[in-house]
């Protein structure tokens, strides 16, 4: 088994501060809220990309309280029937395999949960998770999330996949990871082989900007594809990063060239400390409308993950009640409301 990444592949704090023009106090305060960590190669790429820099730059705005912040932006904390398992739907669950990432995206809704307190599942927790899946055979899909599941060792990931393989009702597995984007060095032949065994597995990456689509990223994507693993992408619409039709069309066109299927374009979630990344519903709809007019490739669904835990809904299908108030009528007649928190 290859050795896990050592600290040397991550940039020292002083280098991060210099490269991003951040003072040490800002770094320390942002880091206390949500860890700051940069793979060296991704920091090098940030020197030539304001989009990449913005996604990971520690910022004092992360310490401010915004009236639109939500303590549990997508009800991920509330909907855990057992620790480290999120269930919003009948047929699928999210498994929080780890709290660790190779890079901590400053916009991520996971920042709503205290990183210090989040913890990692123990073998006892995993036993509870697998018991729950066996006891609820209507659950057909397990989505490995985190943190980033590819921060796990190949051995640990293989163990999880083997356990899932032994639960007959689980028919497919999905891995959500940003490692192929900001830490492609993580992907080795053994990892791909681990993923290619067992239940049909899909990899959903998280490219947000064309600047992240480099030769090394393509190389590791092709490793998965060559092994028969379908690769998709979800992105987040982020102010100051990719909030223009041109940025979006360029991204999804390149990904289509790479045979990556378009999954979701997420409206940003309202986690404490990420207000400077938010766009309004109206702006998001305008951008998506322009994308639909100009793109020559299939586009992702533009979705909002509702704060009430109902899951993702198409943004365009919400009804605007007033300036900031929206509602969505679910197919079963339930109504969810949403207060716009973007600008
Ligand atoms: S988006 Fe993914 S990689 Fe980035 S901080 Fe969130 S969980 Fe980690």
Determine the distance separating the centroid of ligand 1 and the alpha carbon of 35, expressed in angstroms: 11
Average pLDDT, the chain: 95
The whole-angstrom separation of Cα 248 and Cα 291 is 7
Say yes or no: CB of residue 340 within 6 Å of ligand 1: no
Range 282-285, long-range pairs (CB < 8 A, 24+ positions): 282/340, 283/243, 283/342, 283/343, 284/237, 284/315, 284/342, 285/315, 285/316
Band of pLDDT at residue 2, cut at 50, 70 and 90: very low
Residue 91 has a pLDDT of 98
The whole-angstrom separation of Cα 267 and Cα 154 is 32
Task: Label residues 192-219 b or e (16+ Cβ within 10 Å = b).
Answer: bebbeebeebbbbbbbbbbbbbeeebbe
Residue 273 has a pLDDT of 96
pTM of the model: 0.95
Band of pLDDT at residue 1, cut at 50, 70 and 90: very low
Q: Give bridge partners of residue 143 from the DSSP assignment.
A: 94, 174
Average pLDDT on 164-193 reads 98
116 φ, ψ to 5°? -65, -40
Average pLDDT on 185-192 reads 98
Determine the distance separating the centroid of ligand 1 and the alpha carbon of 320, expressed in angstroms: 31
Average pLDDT on 151-160 reads 98
Residue 186 has a pLDDT of 97
132 φ, ψ to 5°? -65, -40
**Closest residue by Cα to residue 327 from 339, 336, 316:** 336
**Closest residue by Cα to residue 82 from 139, 9, 20:** 139
Evaluate if residue 41 carries a pLDDT over 80: yes
CA atoms within 13 A on the CB side of 91: 3
**Ligand 1 atom closest to residue 104's alpha carbon, by position in its atom list:** 5
Element (H, E) at 194: helix 189-196
Cis peptide before 216 (omega within 30 of 0): no
**Ligand 1 atom closest to residue 109's alpha carbon, by position in its atom list:** 6
Average pLDDT on 264-293 reads 97
**Closest residue by Cα to residue 96 from 146, 28, 54, 138:** 146
Determine the distance separating the centroid of ligand 1 and the alpha carbon of 55, expressed in angstroms: 11
Residue 211 has a pLDDT of 98
Q: Are 189 and 43 in contact (CB under 8 A)?
A: no
Question: Would you mind telling me the total number of residues written for the chain in this entry?
Answer: 343
What are the pLDDT digits (tens) for 116-145? Answer: 788 899 999 999 999 999 999 999 999 999
Evaluate if residue 342 carries a pLDDT over 80: no
Say yes or no: CB of residue 99 within 6 Å of ligand 1: no
Ligand 1 pocket test target in 31, 42, 104, 271 with most atoms within 8 Å of CB: 104
Evaluate if residue 6 carries a pLDDT over 80: no
Band of pLDDT at residue 163, cut at 50, 70 and 90: very high
The whole-angstrom separation of Cα 51 and Cα 210 is 9
**Ligand 1 atom closest to residue 34's alpha carbon, by position in its atom list:** 5
Domains of the chain and CATH, by start: 71-339 (3.20.20.70)
Of residues 114 and 27, more confidence is placed in: 27
């Amino acid at each position: 088994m290859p050795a896990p990444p050592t600290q040397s592949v991550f940039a020292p704090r002083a280098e991060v501060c210099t490269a991003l023009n951040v003072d040490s106090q800002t770094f320390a305060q942002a880091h206390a809220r949500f860890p700051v960590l940069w793979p060296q190669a991704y920091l090098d790429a940030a020197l030539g990309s304001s989009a990449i820099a913005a996604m990971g730059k520690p910022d004092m705005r992360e310490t401010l309280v915004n009236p639109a912040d939500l303590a549990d932006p997508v009800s991920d904390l509330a909907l855990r029937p057992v620790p480290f398992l999120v269930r919003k739907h009948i047929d699928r669950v999210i498994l929080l395999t780890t709290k660790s990432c190779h890079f901590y995206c400053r916009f991520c809704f996971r920042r709503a949960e205290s990183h210090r307190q989040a913890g990692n599942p123990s073998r006892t927790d995993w036993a509870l998770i697998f018991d729950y899946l066996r006891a609820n055979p209507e659950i057909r899909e397990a989505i490995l999330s985190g943190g980033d599941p590819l921060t796990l060792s190949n051995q640990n990931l293989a163990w999880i996949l083997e356990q899932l393989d032994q639960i007959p009702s689980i028919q497919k597995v999905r891995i959500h990871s940003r490692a192929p984007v900001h830490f492609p060095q993580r992907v080795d032949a053994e990892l791909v082989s681990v993923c290619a065994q067992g239940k049909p597995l899909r990899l959903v990456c998280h490219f947000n900007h064309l600047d992240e689509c480099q030769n090394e990223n393509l190389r590791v994507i092709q490793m998965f594809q060559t092994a028969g693993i379908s690769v998709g992408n979800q992105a987040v619409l982020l102010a100051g990063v990719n909030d223009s039709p041109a940025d979006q069309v360029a991204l999804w066109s390149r990904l289509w060239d790479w045979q990556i299927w378009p999954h979701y374009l997420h409206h940003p979630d309202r986690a404490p400390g990420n207000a400077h990344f938010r766009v309004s519903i109206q702006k998001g709809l305008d951008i998506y409308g322009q994308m639909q007019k100009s793109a020559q490739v299939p586009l992702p669904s533009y979705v909002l993950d509702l704060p009430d835990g109902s899951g993702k809904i198409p943004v365009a299908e919400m009804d605007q009640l007033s300036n900031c108030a929206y509602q969505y009528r679910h197919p079963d007649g339930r109504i969810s409301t949403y207060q716009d928190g973007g600008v």
